[in-house]
A = this chain, B = another copy of it.
């Protein structure tokens, strides 16, 4: 029998990671987020910062140009290597037992492997901007610019590897706004869905 897994995609700064942790706590199951990066680092020998940057985001600049740059004779890139290891690790985690997985295209990767609840977490721009400044501090770039950049690169990465549109409502069983409903309520709804599945 397949394990029940909650796969959470999220807009940058929406609090999706916190929703994931809280949902997992309520259900007494593990939540994998940073742990996946550590596992990829162990397996690939690449450093964690590099993986965090290239395991979920398209490169800076022109993604379409970059997608075909930095590739070897066989059209293969380091990003493709990370994708392969990431897929193996995420599939392995879902096979091990019920869990919550945040980001990294898990909603797409686990279609066959797990009995998956797919979730998209979003929030309005204002509360996302406030959250990233609170969480990651100020930077030279305006928060709105940082949000746009991250979302764009995350969407491009998702589209490239899954051939689906990131954030398209039809890819998810449920989509929730943390700025409207609150993080606690979102976690409560997802945990309840998991229990009744």
Contact = CB atoms under 8 A, between A and B. Distances in A.
Given A181-B193, A185-B196, A169 B173 contact: no
B124 A169 contact: no
Interface residues of A, number: 21
A174 B181 contact: yes
Helix, strand, loop or mixed for chain A's interface? mixed
A189 interface: yes
A170 B120 contact: no
Contact of A122 (B122, B124, B170): B170
B180 A175 contact: no
Nearest to A125: B170
A191 interface: no
Q: Which 8 A-B pairs have the closest CB atoms?
A: A175-B175, A173-B180, A169-B175, A169-B169, A173-B177, A174-B176, A167-B169, A122-B169
